[in-house]
Amino acid sequence: MAIRALVFDFDGVVIDTETPDFATWQEVFDDHGVGLDHELWSGFIGGGPGEFNVYDHLEELVGRALDRDVIRADRRRRYLDAVASSPVLPGVEALVLDARARSLRLAVASSSGREWVEGHLEMRGLLSYFEAIRTRDDVATVKPDPELFASALDALGVEPADAIAIEDSANGVTAATVAGMFCVVVPNAMTEAMPLDHADLRLRSLAGVSLDYLIEAATAHTGPGGQRC
């Protein structure tokens, strides 16, 4: 068994899109005199669109129909402004550059759309480092289904046992481990309370974490024949 690839989730791992997403929706709910429950919201992080209809939930709490187009446009503007100013999360770029220097393969597996993922990677000068990007536009089922990771690995020509997944959510960890990968979880403020014990390694941050450390952890976690323990 030899680690040949790193596969990153995008939202919450490469940049923090999740905190401003919740925060701007929380502002909308506050404006209407109701609250948005953090635990309810966080349960859907890392999955695909349509699992939780925030407009239905808001109208249910308020007790009346609302002008969704107005809410959507205003909230989206504030959210995009916040995400545009979000930096690459600590440690990510160093891992990417080290992996490329050692000829490891790099991919992204995200439940978000391709335009979203590629646009933000391009904006931050990271897009060219990734050989494969798989998003909800490429698969029938997003996380927690393993299809995104399986598709990314297939594009790289790498077996699951030879790759490390980097995730931040319970749905993402489930997808990676079911795909047969060693999974590192780096939770953020939105996901740290999730049940993440099914990850192989939990870190507070990628800052200061070396590629050697991740490879050694993944290698130590395998049994005879390269099988995950």
Same domain, 78 and 96: no
* Model pLDDT for residues 70-83, shown as the tens digit of each residue: 999 999 999 999 99
Residue-level pLDDT at 229: 42
Q: How many domains does the chain have?
A: 2
Residue-level pLDDT at 193: 86
Tokens for 200, please give them. Answer: 């192989």
Same domain, 68 and 178: no
Same domain, 72 and 94: no
Per the structure, the complete domain to which residue 108 belongs is given by 5-16+88-226
C-alpha distances (whole Å) from 190 to each of 139, 147, 203, 225 are 26, 24, 15, 37
Out of 52, 84, 116, pick the residue that ends a domain: 84
For the ranges 45-49, 82-86, 128-132, the one whose mean pLDDT is highest: 128-132
* Model pLDDT for residues 102-143, shown as the tens digit of each residue: 999 999 999 999 999 999 999 999 999 999 999 999 999 999
Same domain, 99 and 210: yes
* Model pLDDT for residues 31-41, shown as the tens digit of each residue: 999 999 988 88
Same domain, 202 and 222: yes
Q: How far is Cα 54 from Cα 61, in angstroms, rounded to an integer?
A: 11
> Which residues are marked as active site?
9, 11
What b/e readout covers 154-171, taking b as 16+ CB neighbours within 10 angstroms? ebbebebbbbbbbbbbbb
